[in-house]
């Protein structure tokens, strides 16, 4: 009996589907948006929209901060079974996210003309197209805040259908309106922007479904007003996610400026198609890492060190695997991909085929960087997560591009994979130095177990429940735990596993993670399964039996606590020594 | 788990060796169905280091059957952990439990 990752892997895969659906709908809509704009309006309009992507990242900063910061922190509190605090974090992050996005939208609209001038680099045609697109882009901000925050919490509450439907509905309506507004009504580039607003507005009606759901585990609470200082924690937890958007904003603004000045409008057209296609990899990389964040957050909250390592390993395999598929597709089919955007000019496509292939080499390295950033973020090593974000998003690529652009257009695009490799190299050096200076146990820089621990997994069935009890008693006795206490912990393992197998298990392939920790003060047992909701502290026995397993567990142990987090039933039992 | 039964007059001594848990309690249940005409039962748990609710239920069921026929029921040579189970659930007040 060894600890397996079955339970974590299964939960990760369950969450992955809905997260990928969300990122796919986000990025695919932007990709298809780009294709529609390129085909209906032309590559100049596509270039104008590409130049506004830096603004999209700018307005995403507060949204990301409150959505990911609030969601990760709330899941951590739920992992610690502090549900009132999770409600406070949910309430603050929701209202602060909406309010800040309204403020940023108002300021953005007021500054439309100077923004367009800054982005257009004194190209009058581009400036005029950009200002038409900017107003709906800013109006969209509060709606994005509402939808993203709700989708994130719905996902970690196990409301996968709702979490998946929210972005899909918004983006499908967006694409329909794109065609309607641009091709039928002839609204031009502004039509592309208003189509997105319409999609998100109608999509936001699904938010009501979340508010009315009985499965919602977080609630609005007035207690949030008295704990506004939690805002600091939300912001610092969400900072690495938000920092991505800060760096993306700076990177896109500066790289677009370098590309425009070094290669002219022809280079900008190549860039707009390259960036749009490159966002295909973000569907998978961002989706896979966004899935990993709440899983790692919950495991960190429970101080499940082995679980964190298992989740990291699995998340890395999945993310890198998906990124390699995208790399292969990008290397094999650059020209058909460019043709989708209306980029068919042979002089341009000849260059594009080479630059796009060079740029695409960065995809698997980007996957590694994103997974490690997520890991450091979830395990509260924010400084390291922030270093990764700044290095990857801005500090390596911009100076490299500035220097390499002086050689030729091919070296300019090589700055992407080179900068990713440099980012990984610098991070490895920092980690090695930190590990040696601080005498850390491992290169992940996480704490090791304190005291003897038994950590294993069983199948969620009655047969293995008694085997688990045998193993637990033997372990406790080996650690010098008093015989009667070792016995009682063993009984708790058997009874809780048997109950899980009888009442919570969905199938025979389900498993239970068993964790026993011995300290001088107490023996602590933690059981985790991913079955139906089963709360042993609230379960009312109606079998009519005088002796039931749960009654016995309550009699033999000092405390029993239950928590439902990201689809896990987590029961923690302690026996004082 | 091994169960041996020894009849001495109208007293049946049932000796259990092994764990009395969810998996083994059905075997215990079957073995004690036949009391060989005994009126009293002594349950010797000297070889039992572990008992869970399933084992406890079978023990209590046996006690009730013996009580119903007017006999006496006692549990002997109880290990510390097993004793906890009897005392914390209050069954030490219903039938005699001895550690020797």
**Cβ contacts of A469 on chain B, cutoff 8 Å:** 21, 50, 52
For residues A429 and A549, which has the higher predicted lDDT (pLDDT)? A429
> Starting from the edge strand earliest in sequence, which strands make up the sheet with B2-8, in order?
B2-8, B11-20, B40-51, B73-76, B96-97
Based on the structure, what is the number of domains in chain B?
A: 1
DSSP structure string for A205-239: GGHHHHHH-TT------GGGGGGTTHHHHHHHHHH
Instruction: List the domain range (segments joined by +) for residue B51.
Output: 2-97
- Residue A559 sits at φ, ψ, to 5 deg, of -155, 155
- Put simply, the answer to whether B84 touches A466 (Cβ < 8 Å) is no
**Cβ contacts of B63 on chain A, cutoff 8 Å:** none
**Cβ contacts of B89 on chain A, cutoff 8 Å:** 547, 551-552, 555
CA gap A104, A60 in Å, rounded: 10
HEC letters along A532-546: CCCCCCCCCCCCCCC
* Residue-wise pLDDT tens digits, A100-127: 999 999 999 999 999 999 888 778 888 9
The helix or strand, by DSSP H or E, that contains position A507, with its residue range, turns out to be none
A161 close contact with B: CB closer than 8 A: no
**Cβ contacts of B49 on chain A, cutoff 8 Å:** 473, 487
> Starting from the edge strand earliest in sequence, which strands make up the sheet with A522-529, in order?
A453-459, A511-518, A522-529, A568-576, A559-565
- Put simply, the answer to whether A483 touches B21 (Cβ < 8 Å) is no
At residue A505 the predicted structure's pLDDT band, cuts being 50, 70 and 90, is confident
Q: Which of residues 551-570 of A touch B (CB under 8 A)?
A: 551-552, 555-556
Give yes or no for residue B53 having a pLDDT over 70.
yes
CA gap A546, B64 in Å, rounded: 12
B56 close contact with A: CB closer than 8 A: yes
Q: Which of A8-22, A46-60, A240-254, A417-431 has the highest mean pLDDT?
A: A417-431
A536 close contact with B: CB closer than 8 A: no
Give yes or no for residue A556 having a pLDDT over 70.
yes
CA gap A504, A462 in Å, rounded: 12
**Cβ contacts of A490 on chain B, cutoff 8 Å:** 50, 81
Query: If you search the block for the tokens 């030729």, which residue do you land on?
Result: A408
**Cβ contacts of B27 on chain A, cutoff 8 Å:** none
B57 close contact with A: CB closer than 8 A: yes
- Put simply, the answer to whether A549 touches B80 (Cβ < 8 Å) is no
* Residue-wise pLDDT tens digits, A42-63: 888 888 888 888 888 888 889 9
Q: Which of residues 11-30 of A touch B (CB under 8 A)?
A: none
Mean pLDDT across A262-282: 88
**Residues of A494-521 as b/e, b for ≥16 C-beta within 10 angstroms?**
bbbbbbbbeebbeeeebbbbbbbbbeee
- Please tell me whether residue A563 adopts helix, strand or coil conformation: strand
- Please tell me whether residue A82 adopts helix, strand or coil conformation: coil
The complex scores an ipTM of 0.94
User: A428 to each of A371, A376, A495, how far by Cα in Å?
Assistant: 14, 13, 46
Are B32 and B9 in contact by the 8 Å Cβ rule? The answer is no
Give yes or no for residue A291 having a pLDDT over 90.
yes
At residue A252 the predicted structure's pLDDT band, cuts being 50, 70 and 90, is confident
Q: Can you give the pLDDT at residue A545? A: 64
Closest CA relative to residue A153, chosen from A100, A196, A211: A211
Q: Can you give the pLDDT at residue A540? A: 65
**Residues of A535-544 as b/e, b for ≥16 C-beta within 10 angstroms?**
ebeeeeeeee
Closest CA relative to residue B68, chosen from B97, B30, B100, B41: B41
Question: What tokens appear for A519 in the block?
Answer: 């300290």
**Cβ contacts of B80 on chain A, cutoff 8 Å:** 482-484, 487
Q: Can you give the pLDDT at residue A200? A: 93
- Put simply, the answer to whether B88 touches A555 (Cβ < 8 Å) is yes
* Residue-wise pLDDT tens digits, B70-83: 999 999 999 988 99
List Cβ neighbours of A158 (8 Å cut-off, separation of 6 or more): A215, A566, A567
- Put simply, the answer to whether A491 touches B49 (Cβ < 8 Å) is no
CA gap A255, A414 in Å, rounded: 13
Q: Can you give the pLDDT at residue A60? A: 86
Are A538 and A550 in contact by the 8 Å Cβ rule? The answer is no
CA gap A314, A399 in Å, rounded: 34
CB-count burial class (<10 Å; 0-12, 13-18, 19+) for B87:
middle
Are B48 and A491 in contact by the 8 Å Cβ rule? The answer is no
Closest CA relative to residue A524, chosen from A555, A568, A561: A561
CATH number of the structural domain spanning residue B47: 3.30.750.24
Q: Chain A residue closest to B18 (CA)?
A: A470
Question: What are the respective helix, strand and coil percentages of chain B, to the nearest 5?
Answer: 35, 35, 30
A548 close contact with B: CB closer than 8 A: yes
At residue A28 the predicted structure's pLDDT band, cuts being 50, 70 and 90, is confident
* Residue-wise pLDDT tens digits, A195-231: 999 999 999 999 999 999 988 989 999 999 999 889 9
Q: Across the strands, what pairs with B96?
A: B74
Q: How many Cβ atoms from other residues are within 10 Å of residue A342's Cβ?
A: 19
User: A506 to each of A502, A511, A530, how far by Cα in Å?
Assistant: 9, 10, 8
- Put simply, the answer to whether A483 touches B88 (Cβ < 8 Å) is no
**Cβ contacts of B23 on chain A, cutoff 8 Å:** 462-463, 466
CB-count burial class (<10 Å; 0-12, 13-18, 19+) for A576:
exposed
CA distance A10 to chain B (A): 28
At residue A70 the predicted structure's pLDDT band, cuts being 50, 70 and 90, is very high
CA gap A559, A568 in Å, rounded: 20
């Amino acid at each position: 009996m060894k600890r397996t990752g079955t339970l974590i892997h299964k939960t990760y895969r369950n969450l992955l589907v809905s997260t990928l659906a969300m990122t796919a709908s986000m990025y695919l809509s932007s990709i298809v948006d780009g294709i529609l704009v390129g085909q209906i309006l032309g590559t100049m309009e596509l270039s104008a929209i590409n130049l506004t992507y830096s603004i999209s990242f700018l307005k995403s900063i507060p949204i990301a901060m409150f959505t990911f910061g609030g969601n990760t922190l709330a899941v951590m509190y739920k992992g610690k079974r502090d549900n009132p605090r999770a409600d406070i974090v949910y309430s603050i992050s929701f209202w602060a996210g909406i309010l800040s996005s309204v403020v940023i939208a108002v300021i953005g609209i007021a500054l439309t003309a100077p923004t367009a001038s800054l982005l257009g680099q004194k190209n009058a045609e581009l400036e005029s197209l950009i200002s038409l697109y900017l107003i709906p882009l800013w109006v969209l901000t509060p709606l994005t805040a509402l939808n993203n925050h709700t989708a994130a919490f719905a996902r970690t509450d196990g409301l996968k259908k709702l979490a998946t439907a929210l972005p899909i509905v918004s983006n499908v309506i967006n694409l329909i309106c794109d065609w309607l507004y641009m091709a039928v009504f002839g609204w031009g580039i502004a039509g592309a922007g208003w189509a997105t607003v319409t999609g998100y507005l109608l999509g936001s009606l699904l938010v009501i479904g979340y508010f009315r759901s009985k499965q919602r585990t977080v609630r609005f609470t007035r207690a949030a007003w008295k704990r506004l200082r939690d805002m600091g924690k939300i912001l610092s937890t969400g900072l690495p996610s938000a920092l991505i958007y800060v760096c993306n904003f700076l990177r896109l603004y500066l790289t677009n400026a370098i590309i425009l000045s070094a290669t002219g409008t022809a280079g900008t057209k190549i860039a707009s198609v390259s960036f749009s296609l490159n966002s295909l990899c973000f569907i998978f990389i961002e989706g896979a890492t966004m899935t990993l964040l709440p899983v790692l957050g919950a495991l960190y909250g429970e101080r499940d060190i082995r679980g964190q390592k298992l989740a990291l390993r699995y998340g890395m395999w999945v993310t890198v695997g998906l990124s390699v598929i995208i790399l292969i597709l990008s290397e094999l089919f650059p020209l058909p991909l460019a043709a989708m955007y209306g980029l068919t000019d042979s002089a341009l496509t000849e260059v594009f085929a080479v630059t796009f292939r060079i740029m695409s080499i960065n995809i698997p390295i980007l996957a590694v960087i994103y997974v490690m950033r997520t890991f450091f973020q979830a395990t509260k090593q924010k400084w390291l997560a922030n270093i990764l974000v700044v290095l990857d998003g801005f500090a390596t690529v911009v100076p490299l591009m500035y220097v390499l652009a002086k050689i030729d257009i091919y070296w300019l695009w090589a700055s992407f994979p080179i900068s990713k490799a440099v980012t990984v190299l610098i991070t490895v050096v920092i980690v090695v130095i930190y590990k040696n200076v601080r005498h850390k146990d491992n290169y992940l820089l996480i704490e090791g177990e304190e005291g003897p621990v038994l950590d294993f997994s069983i199948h969620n069935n009655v047969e293995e429940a008694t085997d688990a009890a045998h193993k637990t008693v033997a372990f406790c006795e080996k650690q010098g735990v008093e015989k009667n206490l070792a016995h009682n912990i063993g009984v708790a393992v058997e009874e809780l596993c048997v109950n899980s197998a009888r009442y919570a298990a969905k199938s025979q392939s389900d498993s239970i993670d068993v964790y026993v920790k011995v300290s001088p003060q107490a023996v602590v047992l933690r059981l985790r399964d991913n079955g139906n909701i089963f709360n042993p502290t609230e379960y009312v026995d109606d079998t009519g039996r005088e002796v039931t397993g749960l009654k016995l567990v309550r009699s033999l142990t000092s405390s029993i606590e239950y928590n439902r987090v990201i689809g896990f039933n987590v029961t923690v039992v302690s026996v004082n020594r | 788990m091994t169960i041996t039964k020894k009849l001495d007059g109208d007293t049946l001594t049932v000796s259990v060796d092994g764990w009395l848990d969810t998996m083994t309690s059905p075997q215990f249940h079957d073995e004690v169905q036949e009391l060989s005409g005994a009126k009293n039962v002594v349950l010797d748990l000297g070889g039992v280091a572990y008992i869970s609710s399933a084992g406890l239920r079978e023990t209590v069921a046996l006690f009730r059957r013996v009580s119903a026929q007017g006999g006496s029921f006692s549990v002997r040579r109880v290990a510390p952990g097993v004793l906890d189970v009897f005392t914390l659930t209050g069954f030490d007040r219903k039938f005699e439990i001895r550690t020797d």
